Amino acid sequence: MTSDTYFANGAEVSLFEQAYQRNLPVMLTGPTGCGKTRFVEHMGSLLGRPVVTISCHDDLTSSDLVGRFMVTGGDVIWTDGPLTRAVKSGAICYLDEVVEARHDSLAILHSLTDHRRALYLDRADEVVHAPTEFMLVCSYNPAYRSSLKELKPSFRQRFVTLPMTYLPADREAQVVVSESGVDTATAQRLVQCATAIRTADRAFHFEPPSTRVLVTAAQLISAGATELEAADACILAPLSGDGAITDGLREVAAASLLGADAAGAQPH
Ligand SMILES: Nc1ncnc2c1ncn2[C@@H]1O[C@H](COP(=O)(O)OP(=O)(O)OP(=O)(O)O)[C@@H](O)[C@H]1O
Ligand SMILES: [Mg+2]
């Protein structure tokens, strides 16, 4: 198992490759912990390109992306930002949580994401043409979207959009096994627990537990925690901001684990 082991959930691998071949930028959407970052890392290694990740936030300026003049030892010299470096080196540039960035910071990407494939560095009086290997990938979690933070259609429509979600239960259990080393039965119980909460989530209004928390719970279990302890700490507590989980939800989770525990406690 390597850090880029990726379990596909449909046609996203070939769609990404096709977008790469045709020099098209890709937008990944999906809930936290569903595999967006892992997918980009996997595609980077499949295509033999380095991945440069930039985490977006609302203080991010276009200068933070493309670069700025800096005073170094009395000289004022232009210093490329991470986006410019990624373009010049033909990397896959991954803008994580792009919805967090301000619209004026994202405007710099327009010329890079259409037929021009160029970065206009007005201040440096330079135009950087993207080599064919360069690819821009963005991601965001639609659940965090607010009316203040909406990507403009002129931005969204520049991308091949690949909506991502959790894997089907049996595949998700394989991820949990592969990432933590727990046995398949344990992984299946954790997935069952998450599925029960995801189904109940409509009533509870939480962002549902992700594949990430199942992997974390499984890692605690393989380090010696009981399934209930691990589920409590990794699956249930992070669901709400203050860690206070309703009894109803705890019962939903425990039913998937305890039912199986009771069965496991029977003599063989
Ligand atoms: N399809 C998958 N294949 C392999 N591992 C996965 C997959 N989906 C999730 N994982 C596991 O879940 C963890 C979290 O996934 P990842 O970091 O890619 O989520 P994300 O969608 O980028 O989340 P966020 O929006 O919070 O950044 C990974 O480190 C990996 O252990
Ligand atoms: Mg991520």
Write out the chain in H/E/C secondary structure. Answer: CCCCCCCCCCCHHHHHHHHHHCCCCEEEECCCCCCHHHHHHHHHHHHCCCEEEEECCCCCCHHHHHEEEEEECCEEEEEECHHHHHHHCCCEEEEECHHHCCHHHHHHHCCCCCCCCEEEECCCCEEEECCCCCEEEEEECHHHCECCECCCHHHHCCCEEEECCCCCHHHHHHHHHHHHCCCHHHHHHHHHHHHHHHHHHHHHCCCCCCHHHHHHHHHHHHCCCCHHHHHHHHHHHHHCCCCCCCHHHHHHHHHHHHHHHHHHHCCC
| Gap from CA of 267 to ligand 2 centroid (Å) | 43
Residues of the chain with pLDDT under 70: 1-3, 145-148, 201-204, 243, 259-268
Query: β-strands 67-72, 51-55: how paired?
Result: unpaired
| Gap from CA of 35 to ligand 1 centroid (Å) | 3
Which residues lie with the beta carbon below 6 Å from any ligand 1 atom?
Answer: 5-7, 30, 32-38, 141, 167, 175, 179, 211-212, 215
Q: Give the position, in ligand 1's atom list, of the atom nearest the Cα of 9.
A: 1
Q: Name every residue whose Cβ is closer than 8 Å to that of residue 134 and which is 6 or more positions away in sequence.
A: 86, 87, 90, 91, 92, 93, 117
Residues 148 and 107 sit within 8 Å (Cβ to Cβ)? no
Residue among 1, 6, 37, 96 to mutate when testing ligand 1 (max atoms within 8 A of CB): 37
User: What type of residue sits at position 38?
Assistant: R
Q: Give the position, in ligand 1's atom list, of the atom nearest the Cα of 166.
A: 8
Question: Which two three-digit tokens encode residue 83?
Answer: 């986006």
What dihedral do alpha carbons 65, 143, 198, 257 form, nearest 10°? 40
| Gap from CA of 177 to ligand 1 centroid (Å) | 14
Please tell me the CATH code under which domain 12-163 is placed: 3.40.50.300
- Whole-angstrom distance, CA of residue 177 vs CA of residue 255: 21
Q: From residue 72, give the alpha-carbon distance in Å to each of 64, 75, 76.
A: 17, 5, 6
pTM of structure: 0.92
Q: Please report the pLDDT score of residue 162 as a whole number.
A: 98
Burial call 78-108: b when 16+ CB within 10 Å, e when fewer: eebbbbbbbbeeebbbbbbbbbbbeeebbeb
- Whole-angstrom distance, CA of residue 137 vs CA of residue 36: 10
| Gap from CA of 210 to ligand 1 centroid (Å) | 8
Q: Please report the pLDDT score of residue 246 as a whole number.
A: 73
Write the residue with the smallest CA distance to atom 4 of ligand 1. Answer: 6
- Whole-angstrom distance, CA of residue 92 vs CA of residue 135: 5
For residue 140, give the ligand nearest its CA.
Answer: 1
Domain ranges of the chain: 12-163, 169-265
Q: Give the position, in ligand 1's atom list, of the atom nearest the Cα of 96.
A: 27
Write the residue with the smallest CA distance to atom 15 of ligand 1. Answer: 35
Q: Please report the pLDDT score of residue 111 as a whole number.
A: 95
- Whole-angstrom distance, CA of residue 22 vs CA of residue 25: 9
Q: Give the position, in ligand 1's atom list, of the atom nearest the Cα of 8.
A: 1
| Gap from CA of 96 to ligand 2 centroid (Å) | 7
What dihedral do alpha carbons 154, 159, 160, 164 form, nearest 10°? -100
| Chain CA centroid to CA 11, Å | 17
